[in-house]
Structure 1
Amino acid sequence: MLPLALAPLRRLFLGLALLLPAAGCSSGGGSGADDAVEAANAQNAQKIGAADVTEKQEADARFLVKATSNALLEVELGKLAQARATAPAVRAHGAALLQSRLDLLAALRALADAKKLAIPPALGEDEQEAYHEVSAQTGSQLDKHLMALLVKTQNQDEDAFDDMKDDAYDGDIRGLAAKYYQPIKAQLDAAEEAADAAEKLP
């Protein structure tokens, strides 16, 4: 039996899950209508807009979308670091980050499914563009650009998970944020160290 405070959220998701199509899946570019991140946010906005919910419930949905979007990008950047980075510290960070973000993605997908919330199945257009800008680099420039982007996204992760472990409306989302906050914070520290190593390259 759900706590009384969660009952409106449960009714919302159960009632509207049957009415709305699943978010479109797009791993390539295309028009804004095909953007995976925008599609997930739009689907959640439709659900939330059809019921009387709190701003915190809206923030919960946005958090899941952004956390998934960043994790998808970080997985691709981790693969790129392993394949093409020149600095051992950058390659090592890429390998560690890849494994941790695959685990986080699995948890985010399971939670979003349980809450009947949409999350992006692939990189959004902004994330694709950021990835391609990095992947177009070579040698030490790739290391520097890759780590700068990873530090940026991991800072976003650290801030978001820190906030949501205390402020999420849904207890399960608070629990996920609390579980992953410390590993994410430690990985940010490692990213900053790897970025420093990359900046020392010629």
Structure 2
Amino acid sequence: MENIFTDLMTKKTNDELILLVTIDCEKYQPLAVETAKNEIRLRNIDLKKIEELNEVRKEEIAIKKLKKTQKQKEVLKNSANSTLRSINFIIDIVAIFLLYVSIVYIIQKLFNIISTREILFVNRTTVIVVFLLYFILAENIFQKTLGKVITKTKVVNLEGEKPNFIDITIRTFCRLIPFDGISYLYSISGFHDKLSKTIVIKETN
């Protein structure tokens, strides 16, 4: 691997090497960056330009962090209060219950399930599947469930953007944590918000 990097670095221009060890260093593997530094030493390249670009890179990182922090503060200011979230919770639980009852009824009629063991299995499996799919599909596609549609709220990540599928999946499975449903009553975010790094905010025009 090191020999491959060495060959690559020898073919790069001085400016390309300088960019690689400064502004673009996060795009490369540590071994590649170290190999580029060795090539710079061999060529006796002026280090002043490297120092200048490193300062530029530090400033850019600082600005990005500042913008990210400011964005997160704006998102938190617009977060939904516990009353709205309680309404969301109640509406969603009712919606899930109605879906669960409807699906169980259809399954029992289609497959003529009558034994107690089979009924228990269908009931337990259905309620878990309906619960998980309800939140995963609704929040991943629309950023909102039925409850959030009614209260005009939606789920976002900490930067105020649409969460990705993994975030929503983590958020949904974290809802299975005991007392998660009321955890947001004691803080801005509930367990499933904090662990998935998401938050529910009020929609704005």
Sort the TM-score into its range (normalised by shorter chain).
under 0.3
For normalisation by structure 1, the TM-score amounts to 0.22
Larger relative CO (CA 8 A, sep 6+): 1 or 2?
A: 1
Q: Which has the higher helix share?
A: 1
Structure having the higher Rg: 2
Q: Which has the higher strand share?
A: 2
For normalisation by structure 2, the TM-score amounts to 0.22
